[in-house]
Amino acid sequence: MFQSTYSGPKATIGGVLMDAPSKEFALAGSLEELKIKGRLVVHGGHRPILVIYDRGRVFALDNRCPHMGFPLERGTVEDGILTCHWHHARFDLESGCTFDLWADDVPICPVEVRNGDVWVKTTFTHADPAAHWHQRLANGLAHDLGLVIAKAVHGQLAAGVPQAEIVRQVALFGAQNRDGWGVGLTILTALANILPVLPEEEAYLALFHGARRVAADCDGEAPRRERAPLGSRPDPAALKRWLRRWTNVRHREAAERTLLTAIAAHFSPAELADALFAAETERAFADTGHSLDFINKAFECLDLVGWQHAAALLPTVVGQMVAARGAEESTAWRQPVDLVALCEESTSELADLFAAGRGSRDWSGHAALAQELLGDDPARIVDALKEAIRAGAAPADLGQSLAYAAALRVARFGNANEHADWETAHHVFTYANAVHQMLTRIGTANIDTHVTAVRGVLHGAMALYLARYLNVPPARIPGDGGEQLDDLPADPETIGAALLDAFDRQRQVDLAARLVARHLTLGHSPQALIATLAHAVLREDAGFHAYQMLEAGVRQFGAWGDTDEGRHILIAVARYLAAHSPTERASLQTADIARRLMRGGELHQEAGSS
Ligand code: FES
């Protein structure tokens, strides 16, 4: 902290007598004038600086209140405390530190009094900006302070801190300060996954949203308790069996220690994924798919922040996994058709089917299989999956077909459904995406040992079957069959603006779908479209599902590329987002205030002159 003290006719800074103010200093006025007025404001090409005389001492600080940028010159000074005129945040005059954490500390700057004149240094710098903003982010996360988080993220980015480093700081905070993986860490990871396709300004917003949701998730929660791996190193098959066993009997401590032992034994990410997927799919479509989605996101988070943090992050998913309620406990999965029994019967055949299909390496029936998965006879759906395996489809191929079919459920979601039904369609899609990503991670090298994981595809297919009513009648998918949509604009910028305009109004589901189709059928850049969809999410106070939908859609589009199937997937994303927009955009306002404060502009000048 800078000390800014006047203690007599000759001023010192840090105990050193200065001969002349440097070029970084600006003249605030005479000491006499300051004594009479009590405060002066220095304007120029720098931030407005407030100079205050209080009981024989001179202080200088940023005139923009760190809360919302209103001028502090209207504030009240009493007993060394400056109280902002607007929302009454209070600051220690000497250090700028706030007594009201929601307002953040106000930056101060050095001041010199020489020959009866008051000079202030016009630059506000930190010796180590990256370390300073790292600490501010830690404070913001600890106290769930949106504005402090926004400024700290902005400050770290401006200081050149890599985006992945910010994600790491927030992820580790989230893992340590909550007893289990939650919505916040899922949102953080989903947004971090799409950072590479975002422009710089959007990256700031994405990191801010991720961090604020992690902070909110941890607020008031009990911190995580450390657990230790076993002292022995059982073989991988035993650890996998044990993990399933502990999941079945809902023994969290045992499951966590087993997983920690696997991590300590340096299981590869693929082996860990195999073990966790096998345990997770002991229950069908657990917690309407969220449990598996969280597991997948924990793996993706480790890809982003580094696998050296596996012991800190991965066990956070175990609590929900062992406690989850499986679909086998629900009537809908048991009657009129026992879907659970259907899955179990098929599982016993998987090893032989994979063995039969091993010779075929070029299976490419993803789209055709997806259409079969959308059928209304569960036995035929299971037969279609078995036939695909026999024909050479690898587990990840099945996952891709399932995810595409689930995207089609969303893309064809009938507008006559209840609004809450969007979430039913969403759950199946994000579950299917997680299945696909996990099976891709597990790989095809040891299919015989991974047969259990394919249960996830079967469970997803049954969840998809049960959601078939969402497409009765189905919404038309625009752009199919060469449809040109010539009534819509043609250039990509106008299409993008029209899409954002559609998201500005409620229930523009079909218009959003048509604009996406128009953009892609004209051959415009899918990346530009994805950036527009991301912007549409990041400007809102989006719900958890909107982030999941966006990220899963981008992932699945990546699997298909700019094809008809890719178009269908982005239409699904746009339709879901349109059904959930607009919101109040309060977070965007916080992010914008922080951005303008950090850039040094004079906010609320009109308020100062009123
Ligand atoms: S407390 Fe100063 S602007 Fe709100």
DSSP string of 559-585, one letter each residue = HH-SSHHHHHHHHHHHHHHHHT-----
Write the pLDDT tens digit of every residue in 338-396. Answer: 999 999 998 888 888 888 887 677 899 999 999 999 999 999 999 999 999 999 999 99
| Burial grade of 173 (CB within 10 A; 0-12, 13-18, 19 or more) | buried
Residue nearest (by alpha carbon) to ligand 1 atom 1: 87
Q: How far is the CA of 85 from the centre of ligand 1 (A)?
A: 7
CA distance 511 to 489: 12
Instruction: Examine the pLDDT at 2 and tell me if it is beyond 80.
Output: no
* Ligand 1 contacts CB of residue 91 (under 6 A): no
- Torsion angles phi and psi, residue 37, rounded to 5: -85, -25
Q: How far is the CA of 290 from the centre of ligand 1 (A)?
A: 40
- Torsion angles phi and psi, residue 316, rounded to 5: -65, -15
Residue 126 has what pLDDT? 81
Q: What H or E segment, with its residue span, contains residue 52?
A: strand 49-54
Residue with the two structure tokens 């992945």:
164
- Mean pLDDT, residues 109-125: 92
| DSSP secondary structure code for residue 180 in this structure | S
Q: Check: CB of residue 260 under 8 Å from CB of residue 229.
A: yes
Q: Check: CB of residue 292 under 8 Å from CB of residue 279.
A: no
Q: Strand, helix or coil at 80?
A: coil
Q: Check: CB of residue 244 under 8 Å from CB of residue 250.
A: no
Cis (ω within 30 of 0) for the bond into 478?
Answer: no
Instruction: Examine the pLDDT at 467 and tell me if it is beyond 90.
Output: yes
* Ligand 1 contacts CB of residue 89 (under 6 A): yes
Ligand 1 pocket: which of 81, 87, 101, 596 to mutate (most atoms within 8 A of CB): 87
Could you tell me which of 400, 285, 289 has the C-alpha nearest to residue 340? 285
* Structure token pair of residue 529: 């479209």
Residue 365 has what pLDDT? 97
The verdict on pTM exceeding 0.85 is yes
Residue 599 has what pLDDT? 84
What b/e sequence results for 427-460 when a residue is b if at least 16 CB atoms lie within 10 Å of its CB, and e otherwise?
A: bbbbbbbbbbbbbbbbbeeebebbbbbbbbbbbb
Write the pLDDT tens digit of every residue in 56-95. Answer: 999 999 999 999 999 999 999 999 999 999 999 999 999 9
Q: Which amino acid is at 385?
A: L
Residue nearest (by alpha carbon) to ligand 1 atom 4: 87
CA distance 216 to 143: 9
pLDDT band at residue 605 under the 50/70/90 scheme: low
- Mean pLDDT, residues 531-535: 97
Residue 359 has what pLDDT? 64
Q: How far is the CA of 499 from the centre of ligand 1 (A)?
A: 36
Ligand 1 pocket: which of 70, 105, 106, 605 to mutate (most atoms within 8 A of CB): 70
CA 391 to chain centroid, in Å, comes to 38
Residue 445 has what pLDDT? 64
Q: Which amino acid is at 270?
A: A
Question: What atom of ligand 1 comes closest to residue 65's alpha carbon?
Answer: 2
Ligand 1 pocket: which of 74, 83, 84 to mutate (most atoms within 8 A of CB): 84
The pairing of beta strand 57-62 with beta strand 76-78: unpaired
Residue 579 has what pLDDT? 97
Q: Check: CB of residue 142 under 8 Å from CB of residue 134.
A: no
Instruction: Examine the pLDDT at 6 and tell me if it is beyond 90.
Output: no
pLDDT band at residue 450 under the 50/70/90 scheme: low
* Ligand 1 contacts CB of residue 65 (under 6 A): yes
pLDDT band at residue 604 under the 50/70/90 scheme: low
The pLDDT > 90 percentage for the chain reads 85
Q: Which amino acid is at 373?
A: L
Instruction: Examine the pLDDT at 602 and tell me if it is beyond 90.
Output: no
Give every CB contact of residue 251 below 8 A, 6+ residues apart in sequence. 322
* Ligand 1 contacts CB of residue 84 (under 6 A): yes
The pLDDT > 70 percentage for the chain reads 93
Ligand 1 pocket: which of 86, 98, 597, 606 to mutate (most atoms within 8 A of CB): 86
- Mean pLDDT, residues 431-450: 85
* Ligand 1 contacts CB of residue 87 (under 6 A): yes
pLDDT band at residue 5 under the 50/70/90 scheme: very low
- Mean pLDDT, residues 571-592: 97
